[in-house]
A and B are shown apart, each in its own frame.
Chain A
Amino acid sequence: MPALVTHWLGGGLVLVGSVFMIIGAVGLLRMPDVFTRMHATAVSDTLGAGLILVGLMFISGLTLVTVKLFFLILFFGLTSPVATHAVARAALHAGVKPELGEGVEAEAISGEGPQSKP
């Protein structure tokens, strides 16, 4: 592709990604409890960061920088779900109660899953 096309394509991807970062931050600020806030940060960690880094890949062209950006995307994809899972499990274990809708049994959700019983 010509350089101008990739430049503008990359810029557009970066802008869309930054919009998703703001969406995730607003969700983190306004969601009602820990678990829903985690769900909001997943937007900025995967879509926001991913789109921005892919856009930077388009801007940089095919160099060593592209490889570094690829590894950054790989790190985001690996660490973000793991950290979210760990924090959610620790929060449940520490006794944080998730906000439930009307008619949902609170007993169905507890820190001790079926596979964690000895």
Chain B
Amino acid sequence: MLVAAMLAVLTAATLMVVRALRGPTVFDRLVAANAVGNAAIIILALYGFLTERPEFLDIGLTYAMLNIIGTFAVLKFLRFGALGGTGEEEEA
């Protein structure tokens, strides 16, 4: 069962990667990248259970945090053109 589920999630991740490569706007790629990250977390959890090593879940938790931070970093960079500062101050 776990093997079948892992193959299914791998297939889903492949379809998401196709959208990330195709996506006409950068936001399509961003949404697809976020989805691929979430699929990777699920694959990590399933692989950990498959090999009887649930410590993989810790890596999955870390990856969940990195995923959302990465999405927001890309969004902020798109809007303000830089990652430093709050974006509120104009150049004097």
The verdict on A83 contacting chain B, using a C-beta distance below 8 Å, is yes
Contact with A along B5-36 (1 / 0, CB 8 A): 10011011111101100000101101110110
- Rounded to whole angstroms, the CA-CA distance of A19 and B9 in the bound complex is 8
Known: A21-B42, A41-B35. A60 touches B5 (CB 8 A): no
Question: Hey, which chain A residues are within 8 Å of B45, CB to CB?
Answer: 52-53, 56, 69, 72
Chain B nearest CB, measured from A98 CB (Å): 12
What range describes how many residues of A lie at the interface? 35 or more
Give B35's nearest chain A residue, CB to CB.
Answer: A41
Q: Are B11 and A72 in contact (CB under 8 A)?
A: no
Q: Count the B residues whose beta carbon is within 8 Å of the partner chain — how many?
A: 43
Is there a chain A Cβ closer than 8 Å to B4's Cβ? yes
Query: Interface residues of A: mostly helix, strand, loop or mixed?
Result: helix
Interface of chain B residues 28 through 50 with chain A (CB within 8 A)? 28, 30-32, 34-35, 38-39, 41-42, 45-46, 49
Residues of A within 8 A of B5 (CB): 14-15, 17-18, 52
The interface residues of chain A lying within 8 Å CB-to-CB of B54 are: 60, 65, 68
**When each residue 39-70 of chain B gets 1 if its CB lies under 8 Å from chain A and 0 otherwise, what string results?**
10110011001000010011011001101100
Among residues of A, the one whose C-beta sits closest to the C-beta of B64 is A75
Is B1 located at the chain interface by the 8 A CB criterion?
A: yes
Bound: A90/B78 CA distance, A: 9
In the complex, the answer to whether B46 meets A71 with C-beta atoms within 8 Å is: no
Q: Is the CB of A37 within 8 A of B31?
A: yes
A97 to chain B, nearest CB (A): 11
- B interface residues, Cβ below 8 angstroms from A: 1-2, 4-5, 8-9, 11-16, 18-19, 25, 27-28, 30-32, 34-35, 38-39, 41-42, 45-46, 49, 54, 57-58, 60-61, 64-65, 67-68, 71-72, 75, 78-79
The 9 closest A-B pairs by CB, nearest first: A25-B12, A18-B8, A11-B1, A25-B15, A18-B5, A79-B68, A68-B57, A21-B12, A91-B27
